[in-house]
Structure 1
């Protein structure tokens, strides 16, 4: 398993402290934290030692600092803290060599997940409906989390768990019989039109709604004609979905839906009847387990005998464990469904499934204010089209002004538009709500995908002008404070990726990339102000060292953006 430069030094510092204190290194390592940048890189607080040693923390820190010696670290006491700073050498060379050797794998060049499997349930639209803008968060977050786990050596089973069973398909079916054109049954747009009309009519006419329910009952009973029509709707929908996923660069290991568990419901209900038990409530069948005051029960069957998605989710959870023997099973689903997943996991626990504790609801907040020029967003494709259209106007403007050269302006506009929408979502902590703003996500300045893509293209251009990344260089020449600051940002990516996996939090990667880009920008600006500090220095040895640093920044931006599912254009 590869080890990051940061973790190597952190472990060495912890081991030296542990040896000096006569305790296991594992007891100390969790207490070693990042230091305030003005005081060093690593810090250990001595407050917990004061009572046992009967000394003031500053005195303990001073004594420890005098006894410690770790290659590559400069150790000093600062008040009650023992701080360690990475010496410029060999630290600088180690960071740059690690990044450049890993290349596209940097940040996740690890086998921490070797031999482990994670299932990730995400995106999961309903068939016979478009992928709506409300699917943006589950789709981008799930894709990014899957990328992060793959990078860390996990076997990832990404599951697009389609909503392809239930009364709504009865609505589409009876709606199609009234409003549909059989010649257009393979047209996703036509199915959407039919669904909208049928849904409106069902709300106004109870008899029409009952027809839809009856059609679904026929589906559950295995009626061949009903299932044939349902399957045509399903195939049309999946073909339409795949076009959008391909546009977003997303592939799933499995596209399957609730219908997979049709015919398996009775076995699951029988299993629950054994433990913890079932009982009737107002004609419906529910899980017999304790509920909090005013908590709705877990419904397994409605009073008309049809099953619910809780029943199918229980069957799906068991099926996934049987197929994949997962270490983790993640459900990337909106916070609105928190009660459902709490009850799902509690039911599995009550059933005696030891792996229930491995199931995690990766919840996320809502987006507010999303709209297109056509009005309120209905389809995700509309958002991507508008992002591309707006990006294309910026590309055209920059080409005409001589600020940009590209062989394929349309491709670049697509990359910028996709990057803007994806990063605009992923930079936010997943649990938070946020307001979508077109001007903000498409700005070249600020915390945007375009800013990062531009930073990447800009450093690629510097390398191109400098004759490419050097095969050899002298890292000891990188002594400027701005150079050392950039090295430290580059160093952080592997640790941040591990944290992002542990917390299911892609925003950690997004924000690290913003820090790298900002540090890189300060370094460029320095060269603009002072010719001796330019990356393309006149001295050959100095130019090679600075190009190696620039190349490491390029690797970091490209690897991080790829984890986020964002394209990395080389000209902007």
Structure 2
């Protein structure tokens, strides 16, 4: 697959500058940036050259403007900057033809071919439901997986369940005290039991000790304990799978910490031999220098039970053996930064060559999510509420003639999902954000429903006209609004690559907002000037504008699909 249109022009511009300066193109290309729209599309600042050339930056830019010639670019100096603007042709035709040829694959590529990325995301605990705060790891991880797939990588997505540890002991002994044997398959009942058991353990050390003892019996291979664990695990998985199906998320692997039961002792022994271990208050810790007040890295508790880091070490070794990954990503909250810092530190101390390929993709917290009753909600409940609120808006818009749909409830589900998912992904990954129902479900502003409406609007225009023709005259798309829209469409492939490299879905989310806003300006320009309407009487002009509308539809659909957001065709 060839370079994306924008990247190709950028590389050609950088190459011509490099040739004129006698420099490697690889040194120049990082310095080519997007220009201010009033001055062009690409820009190269000459400040860094002033000292070596002993000239003022504007003089250097003026001299370069005489030397740099690139087909398809108008090059000129603007003060200390060398700017380039895409010419109407072939840029217009290249952009539209690329979008329409690639379809929903637009934005992707094949540069990841032959490489594997392992992505550990979502990862809820069994015997607990998926709470709304799991939305971050789930949708960020899913989007990153989509981005890498789009770029040709083999993606091994792992839902690494918290299905081992003392918390399961709490559920087990709690079920003995409070559970109904007839409701072992009832997730809601397991949650009730866990809440009661956890509260009691905080008040009664003896009850907490019973939970720990139950977990020790699991690690020792007690048949009855493991059978109960298996039943509760399967109940949780059935509940999880229903939520994931609703979100349109599929994992290549659903595993858990239990997967490494029996595989941790060799890792502990290797740490002891190659790094060193020592006892501290009966626990086994990694013998490394620690910063002041830094907690030690525990491999085993005093009672001999294992911990997260022990299991993560075993998992890292296993995943590298199974997948031979180029990257291994852990999409986990910033709250766990110390855990991953210490985990990676042990891997590096062991000298394992793949240690440098692991990355903690951290994210901030979400605040403000509550039901109408003001209580913290589960993810499934939040999706239900989003659908209900969206349905109110859909029905109101149907009555007012602003929305047309044959299935209001199905559309409400799509809008609700778009509101929740985009409400998360539009924010910088590492930032906290506050969820607001009214904002998330608005059809205006920086929201999922706004983007879905923009996509539906393009579909509506095409449906009314009978679709976009194959043949068109790109030279007719001369309006400033048309050229501005094209300059947003052409950016999707670069946004996808930047988002994958930085593990930052918000880069794609923001680009889609720019595309939708540019299309809205273009489409509504026809309200003030009939000659700017898409469906004009001139057949050739109408055909060109329908093709541009189709390219916009494809770009929005491709981007929304990468984000994991449904793309309704009418609303």
Q: TM-score, normalised by structure 2?
A: 0.99
Spell out the pairing of 1:215-294 with structure 2 (5 A cutoff). 215-294=214-293
Measure the CA separation in 2 of the matches of 1:359 and 1:232: 33
Aligned to 1:12: 12
Aligned to 1:458: 457
Aligned to 1:77: 77
After superposition, the C-alpha distances for 1:213-244 in whole angstroms (9 at most, x for unaligned) are 11111001000010000000001110110000
Aligned to 1:50: 50
Deviation at 1:346, TM superposition (A): 0.9
Deviation at 1:304, TM superposition (A): 1.0
After superposition, the C-alpha distances for 1:87-107 in whole angstroms (9 at most, x for unaligned) are 011001000111111111111
Spell out the pairing of 1:73-152 with structure 2 (5 A cutoff). 73-108=73-108, 110-152=109-151
Deviation at 1:347, TM superposition (A): 0.5
* Contact 2:369/2:377, CA 8 A, preserved across alignment: no
Spell out the pairing of 1:293-372 with structure 2 (5 A cutoff). 293-372=292-371
Measure the CA separation in 2 of the matches of 1:11 and 1:100: 23
Aligned to 1:39: 39
Measure the CA separation in 1 of the matches of 2:66 and 2:20: 11
| DSSP-derived class of the 2:76 partner | strand
Measure the CA separation in 2 of the matches of 1:403 and 1:86: 38
After superposition, the C-alpha distances for 1:487-517 in whole angstroms (9 at most, x for unaligned) are 0000000000000000000000000000000
Deviation at 1:374, TM superposition (A): 3.6
Measure the CA separation in 2 of the matches of 1:515 and 1:401: 28
Aligned to 1:559: 558
Aligned to 2:400: 401
State whether structure 2 residue 549 is matched by structure 1 residue 550: yes
Measure the CA separation in 1 of the matches of 2:374 and 2:442: 22
* Contact 2:423/2:448, CA 8 A, preserved across alignment: yes
Measured on the aligned residues, the alpha-carbon RMSD in Å equals 0.9
After superposition, the C-alpha distances for 1:40-60 in whole angstroms (9 at most, x for unaligned) are 111111122222222211111
Aligned to 2:23: 23
Aligned residues: 571
* Contact 1:2/1:111, CA 8 A, preserved across alignment: no
| DSSP-derived class of the 1:326 partner | coil
Measure the CA separation in 1 of the matches of 2:53 and 2:367: 55
* Contact 1:261/1:312, CA 8 A, preserved across alignment: yes
Q: Mean Cα displacement is larger for which, 242-251 or 54-63?
A: 54-63
Aligned to 2:435: 436
Aligned to 2:506: 507
| DSSP-derived class of the 1:376 partner | coil
Q: TM-score, normalised by structure 1?
A: 0.99
Q: Mean Cα displacement is larger for which, 256-265 or 395-404?
A: 395-404
Measure the CA separation in 1 of the matches of 2:400 and 2:37: 41
* Contact 1:95/1:487, CA 8 A, preserved across alignment: yes
Measure the CA separation in 2 of the matches of 1:358 and 1:136: 26
Aligned to 1:182: 181
Measure the CA separation in 2 of the matches of 1:499 and 1:49: 27
Deviation at 1:174, TM superposition (A): 1.1
* Contact 2:371/2:377, CA 8 A, preserved across alignment: no
* Contact 1:377/1:383, CA 8 A, preserved across alignment: no
Q: Mean Cα displacement is larger for which, 338-347 or 374-383?
A: 374-383
Measure the CA separation in 1 of the matches of 2:403 and 2:450: 15
| DSSP-derived class of the 2:270 partner | helix
Gaps of 5+ in 1: none
Aligned to 1:208: 207
Aligned to 1:416: 415
Deviation at 1:403, TM superposition (A): 2.3
